[in-house]
Amino acid sequence: MKARLLFKSMKLTCLRKGDGFQCPPCHMLNLYGFSILIDCPLDLSAITIFSPIPHDACSHAADEVSECPNMSLEAENSAQKRQRAIDKQPSHSDLVCAEPWYKTVNALHLLDVSFIDIVLISSPMGMLGLPFLTQNPGFSAKIYVTEATAKIGQLMMEDLVLMHMEFRQFYGPQDCSFPWWITQLEHEEAPPLLNNIAFGEDGNDLGCWMPLYSFDDIKDCVKKIQTVKFAEEACYNGTLIIKALSSGLDIGTSNWLINEPKGSISYVSGSIFLSQHTMDFDYHGLKGSDVILYSDFSCLDSTDGNDNCSVDPTSNGVSALSDENKDDLADSLSNHEENLEEMEKLAFISSCAADSANAGGSTLITISRIGTVLQLLELIANSLGSFSQKVPIYVISSVAEELLAYMNTVPEWLCQQRQDNFISGEPLFGHTKFIKDRKILLFPAIYSPDLIMSWQEPCIIFAPHWSLRLGPSVQILRRWCGDPKALLVLEDGIAASLALLPFRPMAMKVLQCSFLSGIKLQKLPTLLKILQPKIVLLSDTISQRISLPEAKPYAVLDYSENKTLHLPKNTDNGEEVEMTMDLASNLKWKKTKGEENLNIARLEGEVVMDNGKHRLLVGSERDPSTQARPTKHWGSIDPEMLLESLTKMGIDGSIEREMGENGSEGKGRVISITSPENAVVEVAETGGGTVVTTDDEDLASRILIAIDGVLDGI
């Protein structure tokens, strides 16, 4: 049956647009009265303003910066100095010589975290800022993360903390009460590039910077996480049903489906239709969603010239899809061309590393994607098998051993091919065999005694951190940066010119690779045609690059960064309510007299929320079929119809106009009854009710029966 229930509109605030795989977007969604934070990333690219050099050199550089204004004060006026700063390119001495701080989402530090009800984490990168929230005493939200993302994200955070401990071990502790380097970057002669990274284009990002959390903060954060499996339903507060679906981007990464009593909303992050290592993008689970929040910003970073996408504006976007058409569209999305392109990139990296080793040079790989690293380990180890000279592969990370071991325990998160290998008794990934054969060697740190004892060049090293500001990659890069036979492999998404600044002049070769991070823009119209939502929420920057068909069965609303978008309220007046069959069979149904032609019944009970559905509960002591209640009527009485009904009952009367106080005619009508007894029925025209006046109780009862016959009532 249908019940009239209050529906609250939805609000969306984009706190941060995505900036590559390393920096996912962040949104705040207000749905059905609940505040939902989607992802809590760190802007790791911002730590490139720091320099990985010893503190004694830092103090010398800082002295030069502080002395510079006095030296030029008399020679240049302020306008000339500002122009010189604008034209200036950053140098090594301009970088901040301090232990790195981290930049959180711009508006997140301004929020009252006590008002956040739910946090959804889509990827390990989207989890790195979570301890900054959970360490707040007012935080009490429920955090939902897939099992694999929770484990990988925890290891990444622990590795980051250990890299900071190593930094302090090398260069000594620092006072974290206030970042002294802020004044260095605020100076008018600071390079604009560094200034924009630190403070933002509008200068409002200063409050985003924070020192890194601790192991205790990570431990406390993990305790507050509720892990879910793919497609497992989690119910929040009996109202929202939350489900994680594979995005295909990496192991454990997910999109989210949220069902609430008035409909559903899907959150689509960076997604890949076919993958060589993880589960494919499960877009079938998103079909029929009322609202799709599209948050895949990878197309903005794409170098593919075809990403400015348009479709035929006359195409029939509203036509019904047959099963055959749906299959054809699905095949166009899930073609193998992109998959082959990605494998060719990995094969090219492997061949470059082999060529470098063949020439006597070593290779440093700082790629952060777990799935990509696992595939590269397989390819490179296989390609080096034919070498006459032994070339060791070192994986240097404090969490390498635990992470690689974990990857062989999660077959349910991997692609079908690797699941089939697992069923047939083969390892999920090839690194297991190569580690056993000591072709791949794992070490927790660059100063590990075992690594020093087994060190051999040329070699191939996988090591963090991809920012080139922390971890083993810094020490290794210092060793090899002057070797023209050496090779550095970087992932796209980092400004290489700024990242490599502390190591210049660079003689080693640099290979920067761009991997598929999401849905290509030309595939978006086809995807939406398959999913058939009612409303699509697109970033304004994406809307500017795509032209959707004019005749489309969904509305498109644009959202902007740090602005709140209010979605229109649902115009449906009804809400589905479930009740037991026994209760429904005992109700006394009555057909209404109006054009609605509805069957209605009356009962006393309570509407409650249970697993995202409204349910009608009636106490066991109540029997809706026998309990006597006064009839409730609605609508307006037609005096002519009432008089006709009274006449049929043998009651005589006439209709008169109601008289006002000054003798003028009033707005109401009066039925004067003369037989069998005297009575007056006063009928107001609008909203005033009906008054029956008589001394005869039997006549009054008969008049009420006549009124019940002309009005709707239960």
Q: Is the dihedral angle over the CA atoms 37, 39, 44, 45 positive or is it negative? A: negative
| Confidence (pTM) | 0.78
Residue 192 pLDDT exceeds 90: no
Q: Which range scores top for mean pLDDT: 51-60, 318-327, 380-389, 417-426?
A: 417-426
Residue range 594-615: mean pLDDT, rounded:
65
Q: Residue 2's pLDDT band (boundaries 50, 70, 90)?
A: very low
Q: Quick check: 156 and 250 in contact, CB under 8 A? A: no
Average pLDDT across the chain, whole number = 81
Please identify which residue in the block is written with the tokens 């959804």. Answer: 120
Tell me what pLDDT residue 215 has.
96
CA distance 377 to 458: 16
The Cβ-side half-sphere exposure at 610, using a 13 Å CA radius, reads: 9
Q: Number of H helices and number of E strands within the chain? A: 21, 36
**Complete edge-to-edge strand list for the sheet that includes strand 393-396:** 440-443, 393-396, 460-462, 363-365, 487-491, 509-513
Tell me what pLDDT residue 16 has.
82
Angle at 48 between CA 44 and CA 52, to 5 degrees: 115
Give pLDDT tens digits for 314-341.
444 434 444 556 566 777 787 778 888 8
Residue range 577-590: mean pLDDT, rounded:
72
User: Above pLDDT 90, what percent of the chain?
Assistant: 39
Tell me what pLDDT residue 54 has.
54
Q: What is the DSSP letter of 197?
A: H
Interstrand relation of 487-491 and 363-365 (parallel, antiparallel or unpaired): parallel
CA distance 152 to 127: 10
CA distance 442 to 450: 10
Q: Annotate 181-215 with DSSP letters as a single string.
A: HHHHHHSTTS-HHHHHHHH-TTS--GGGEE----H
Residue 87 pLDDT exceeds 90: no
Residue 157 pLDDT exceeds 80: yes
Tell me what pLDDT residue 317 has.
42
CA distance 391 to 395: 13
Q: Quick check: 356 and 485 in contact, CB under 8 A? A: yes
| Range of weakest confidence among 346-350, 550-554, 620-624 | 620-624
Residue range 145-149: mean pLDDT, rounded:
96
Q: Residue 611's pLDDT band (boundaries 50, 70, 90)?
A: low
The enclosing H or E element of 3 equals strand 2-3
Tell me what pLDDT residue 517 has.
87
Residue 127 pLDDT exceeds 50: yes
Tell me what pLDDT residue 58 has.
45
Residue 140 pLDDT exceeds 60: yes
Residue range 698-714: mean pLDDT, rounded:
78
Interstrand relation of 555-559 and 535-539 (parallel, antiparallel or unpaired): parallel
> Which has the higher per-residue pLDDT, 703 or 73?
703
Q: Residue 442's pLDDT band (boundaries 50, 70, 90)?
A: very high
Q: What is the token pair recorded at 148?
A: 């694999």
Tell me what pLDDT residue 625 has.
47
| Range of weakest confidence among 181-195, 232-246, 273-287, 593-607 | 593-607
The Cβ-side half-sphere exposure at 535, using a 13 Å CA radius, reads: 18
- Which amino acid appears at position 622 of this protein? R
Q: Quick check: 225 and 598 in contact, CB under 8 A? A: no
Residue 8 pLDDT exceeds 60: no
> Which has the higher per-residue pLDDT, 308 or 348?
348
Tell me what pLDDT residue 9 has.
66
CA distance 119 to 116: 8
Residue 85 pLDDT exceeds 90: no
Tell me what pLDDT residue 67 has.
39
CA distance 405 to 612: 38
Residue 201 pLDDT exceeds 90: no
Interstrand relation of 34-38 and 606-610 (parallel, antiparallel or unpaired): unpaired
Tell me what pLDDT residue 73 has.
34
Q: Residue 403's pLDDT band (boundaries 50, 70, 90)?
A: very high
Residue range 665-691: mean pLDDT, rounded:
76
Which of 261, 263, 255, 289 lies closest to 554 in space, CA to CA?
Answer: 289
CA distance 29 to 195: 31
Residue 426 pLDDT exceeds 90: no
Q: What is the DSSP letter of 123?
A: S
CB atoms within 10 A of CB 281: 27
Q: Quick check: 518 and 299 in contact, CB under 8 A? A: yes
Phi, psi of 257 (to 5 degrees): -115, 125
Q: Residue 656's pLDDT band (boundaries 50, 70, 90)?
A: confident
CA distance 94 to 53: 12
Cis bond upstream, residue 505 (ω within 30) = yes
| Range of weakest confidence among 227-236, 646-655, 656-665 | 656-665
> Which has the higher per-residue pLDDT, 403 or 647?
403
Residue 362 pLDDT exceeds 70: yes
Tell me what pLDDT residue 133 has.
94
Tell me what pLDDT residue 675 has.
82
User: Above pLDDT 70, what percent of the chain?
Assistant: 79
Cis bond upstream, residue 54 (ω within 30) = no
The Cβ-side half-sphere exposure at 51, using a 13 Å CA radius, reads: 23
CA distance 191 to 483: 30
> Which has the higher per-residue pLDDT, 185 or 100?
100
Residue 624 pLDDT exceeds 80: no
Residue 557 pLDDT exceeds 80: yes
Residue range 470-494: mean pLDDT, rounded:
92
Residue range 456-478: mean pLDDT, rounded:
93
Q: Residue 181's pLDDT band (boundaries 50, 70, 90)?
A: confident
Residue 687 pLDDT exceeds 80: no
Tell me what pLDDT residue 20 has.
64
Tell me what pLDDT residue 539 has.
92
Tell me what pLDDT residue 350 has.
94
